[in-house]
Amino acid sequence: MISSAVRILMIFCIVAMCGCVNNSALFAGPRGKIIRCSSTGFGYIGAPLASMSFSKCKEDAATMGYLPLEDAGFVGIILKEQQVNGENIIARVIDGSPSYKSDIMPGDAILTVKGQKPAGIDDLYNLMFGKKNEPVDISIMHEGQERNITLVRAPREIQKVSSKD
């Protein structure tokens, strides 16, 4: 016969060993960088610790300006890494993006975003970045003419990569 104390200990051990949690989420940043928050924990202590770790990672990502990937939008502009004569110059426009559809071209200069003159490239990326389907007003210089454009941020998409064995 097994004593009641041993039975309780066995039940506690089974419960402590069986619980598990696995959290994972992708986040997008202003320059297009994708990061993943993930955690796994097992048992009575590990599962709650994993959940706390995951929550902290999500808070940290938000503090650094990242949005959950499913919420993040983009306008499709890639800038030259250095300003030219104090201007932020577009190096590339992504095909099919909101910028592409608005006839924004490489070589155009971005003057303002949301009515603000960006302090630098990082500031510019931060101003253009935001939630999908939300508008962002920009002013550009295109072939000597100033243009005011409202872009609606498109959803971010992850390109699937496959390999052949």
Based on the domain organization, do 81 and 140 belong to the same domain?
Answer: yes
CATH code (residue 94): 2.30.42.10
> What does the alpha-carbon distance between residue 114 and residue 139 come to, in Å, rounded to a whole number?
9
Please tell me the total count of domains within the chain.
Answer: 2
Query: 150, 113 in Cβ contact below 8 A?
Result: no
Q: Does residue 32 surpass a pLDDT of 70?
A: yes
Residue 4 lies inside a defined structural domain of this protein: no
41 Cβ contact list (under 8 Å, min separation 6): 20, 21, 47, 48, 49, 50, 51, 53
pLDDT digits (tens, 9 = 90+) for 111-126: 999 999 998 888 999 9
pLDDT, position 152: 96
Whether the pTM exceeds 0.85: the reply is no
Q: pLDDT band for position 158 (50/70/90)?
A: low
Based on the domain organization, do 147 and 106 belong to the same domain?
Answer: yes
Helices (H), 19-76: 43-63
Residue 139 lies inside a defined structural domain of this protein: yes
Based on the domain organization, do 63 and 108 belong to the same domain?
Answer: no
Based on the domain organization, do 104 and 47 belong to the same domain?
Answer: no
Residue numbers of the domain that contains 123: 72-155
> What does the alpha-carbon distance between residue 54 and residue 52 come to, in Å, rounded to a whole number?
5
Based on the domain organization, do 79 and 141 belong to the same domain?
Answer: yes
Residue 148, burial from CB neighbour count under 10 angstroms (0-12, 13-18, 19+): exposed
Based on the domain organization, do 83 and 140 belong to the same domain?
Answer: yes
pLDDT digits (tens, 9 = 90+) for 59-82: 999 999 999 999 999 999 999 887
